[in-house]
């Protein structure tokens, strides 16, 4: 694996009512926050094991304790829409750089084999599409936030828009695995079951029991 890589996680504070609000009302705000915290912890642990010259936690809110101890630089997110914030992040990074989200804790080394094993001269970007139409990862050999600003985020075709922007800029793009992220309760079963023993799986397993008990009462 190449160690000449910056890896950034975009994340937000796992505070009730602030994170994963689309998981309610099936989950309470506290439960949604607990699940988000587990997913973020699994993602941080995964990224901390990737050989990299720089690790960034691009964070909205108060970051979790221990991130700096694991070698992460905490970079506060600026104000503005998600496209503006991601543009800021990619303008802050230099050299081959990879951004992933906090809600695909099932990601594996194999899913990121392209950007982790080096960059052929013919490849400028690696793009990770999400099942819901967004994207879970984006890597650029030469980071440029201008190719992200203006993309409509949280839309069914956000991923298509972003990939088209890269291609229209003359960049050579290769696709990563298509992954499911969790913005809805129905996504969580599949994600959690694919990573047995993870924090996400343990939290969701306990939470399902509570949900069943609530449904039966």
Higher pLDDT among residues 139 and 208, named by residue: 139
Between these two residues, 143 and 64, which has the higher pLDDT value?
143
Confidence of residue 216 (pLDDT cuts 50, 70, 90): low
Q: Which domains does the chain have, with CATH numbers?
A: 6-211 (3.90.550.10)
pTM of the model: 0.93
- For 102-121, write each residue's pLDDT tens digit: 999 999 999 999 999 878 88
Q: What is the mean pLDDT of residues 172-196?
A: 93
DSSP H helices in the chain: 29-48, 82-92, 113-116, 158-168, 185-193, 199-216
pLDDT band at 215 (very low <50, low <70, confident <90, very high): low
The dihedral built from the CA positions of residue 142, 143, 148 and 154, taken in this order, carries a sign that is positive
């Amino acid at each position: 694996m190449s160690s000449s890589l910056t890896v950034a996680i975009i994340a937000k504070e796992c505070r009730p009512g602030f994170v994963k609000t689309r998981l309610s009302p099936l989950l309470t705000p506290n439960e949604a926050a607990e699940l988000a915290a587990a997913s973020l912890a699994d993602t941080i642990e995964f990224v901390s094991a990737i050989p990299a010259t720089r690790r960034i936690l691009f964070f909205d809110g108060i970051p979790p304790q221990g991130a700096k101890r694991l070698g992460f630089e905490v970079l506060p997110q600026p104000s503005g829409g998600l496209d503006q914030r991601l543009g800021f992040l990619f303008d802050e990074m230099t050299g081959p750089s990879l951004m992933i989200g906090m809600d695909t804790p099932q990601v594996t080394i194999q899913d990121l084999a392209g950007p982790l094993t080096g960059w052929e001269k013919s490849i400028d970007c690696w793009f990770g599409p999400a099942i819901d139409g967004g994207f879970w990862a984006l890597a650029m050999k030469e980071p440029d936030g201008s190719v992200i600003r203006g993309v409509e985020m949280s839309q069914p075709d956000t991923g298509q828009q972003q990939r088209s922007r890269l291609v229209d800029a003359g960049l050579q793009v290769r696709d990563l695995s298509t992954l499911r992220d969790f913005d809805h309760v129905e996504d969580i079963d599949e994600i959690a079951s694919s990573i047995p023993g993870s924090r996400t799986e343990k939290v969701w397993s306990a939470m399902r029991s509570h949900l069943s008990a609530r449904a039966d009462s």
